[in-house]
A = this chain, B = another copy of it.
């Protein structure tokens, strides 16, 4: 899922050996910064689209060409378009629910593009942009929200685990997976996504403890989108979340979550630490949930619209567009082509969803167990017989 693999799906997995860059990670900047408890927000691109120099992080994006930037831009646009389509599909009754990523595109795309194919990703339920970058077929994300399954993709195809709804749980799976990587002597890493609200769950603290004690190669990527449904971050913590890591003995850093370049740089740095055997890192991406929590939510009940409006000025897509328009030779055609491409995606997703069949009723007896279970067999048979009795009646 490197930045260059702009193709959205099916990228072949290409494990790499330890790079020189990763070996030098020990002296890397953010670590010291975090150890010092530096509260600065890492930012490489201002809301206005101006490039900010960073002696600390520029090396981590030195290879990012204008083309690569356009790739990141495309990812964000496609993710947003897909997300918007899903919202629409929910309104039309095609989906039961949708958790929109609106506003979090940079955090997701930047971090996801920092991962390698052989890294493993543990998402929450909102990482549609990450899924996109990992090459998961977008329509597959919709199955669970349509109610046709509880997870519609093979996690091992793109090293992208299933969405996890029980808040915080996946951070432990990520840690265990990373412990396994370490046991294997592999140099891949794991990234675990979670939200500001999730930071309060005991499981997340335990994942910090385990990853620190076993020095597991895992990056905890917290999208602090300011809200856990109706609760602002102050209901979860009274200090910035990235600071949480220090007390567990590993660095935490806060990055502008609406700056895709900074998210890329910081996550690359953190992943390289992991590969280099330096253990876990906490990245807090400071971003904003611009929409409702989910399509079932009504944010007017609990937050002022001015807040959202203020954050609109920091829109992750607009700022990269400004940069591309002002500082690269990206022509108008790129943007119009992308619009067409994203519309095509929207159409494809729409059609795919509308064509999604309800599962066969017998499916509810499948996959409860890998090796079978006598009671399930018995109930399946009874249910089949019961259903058959209607057919007989009908006949």
Contact = CB atoms under 8 A, between A and B. Distances in A.
Interface of A: 37, 199-206, 209, 212-213, 215, 234-239, 243-249, 252
A247 B249 contact: no
30 contacts: A37-B37, A37-B246, A200-B209, A202-B203, A202-B206, A204-B205, A205-B205, A209-B236, A212-B238, A212-B239, A213-B234, A213-B236, A213-B237, A213-B238, A215-B238, A237-B248, A237-B249, A238-B249, A239-B246, A239-B247, A239-B248, A239-B249, A243-B247, A243-B249, A244-B247, A244-B248, A246-B246, A246-B247, A247-B248, A247-B252
Tell me how many chains of this kind the complex includes: 2
Nearest to A241: B247
Chain A interface, >50% SS class? helix
Contacts of A236: 209, 213
A135 B263 CA distance: 57
Contacts of A201: 202, 206
Contacts of A247: 239, 243-248, 252
A59 to B, nearest CB: 27
A173 to B, nearest CB: 15
Contacts of A237: 209, 212-213, 248-249
A259 to B, nearest CB: 24
Nearest to A202: B202
Contact of A213 (B202, B235, B252): B235
Nearest to A246: B247
A237 B245 CA distance: 12
Nearest to A240: B249
Nearest to A209: B200
B244 A243 contact: no
Contacts of A244: 247-248
Nearest to A244: B247
Contacts of A206: 200-202, 205
A212 B238 CA distance: 7
Contact of A246 (B203, B213, B243): B243
**Most chain B Cβ neighbours within 10 Å, of A37, A234, A243, A244:** A244
A203 B205 CA distance: 9
A238 B202 CA distance: 18
Per CB-CB distance, the 9 closest pairs between chain A and chain B, nearest first, are A202-B202, A205-B205, A247-B247, A239-B249, A244-B247, A238-B249, A200-B209, A243-B247, A202-B206
A197 to B, nearest CB: 11
A243 B212 CA distance: 14
Contacts of A243: 246-247, 249
A245 B235 CA distance: 17
Contacts of A204: 205
A203 to B, nearest CB: 6
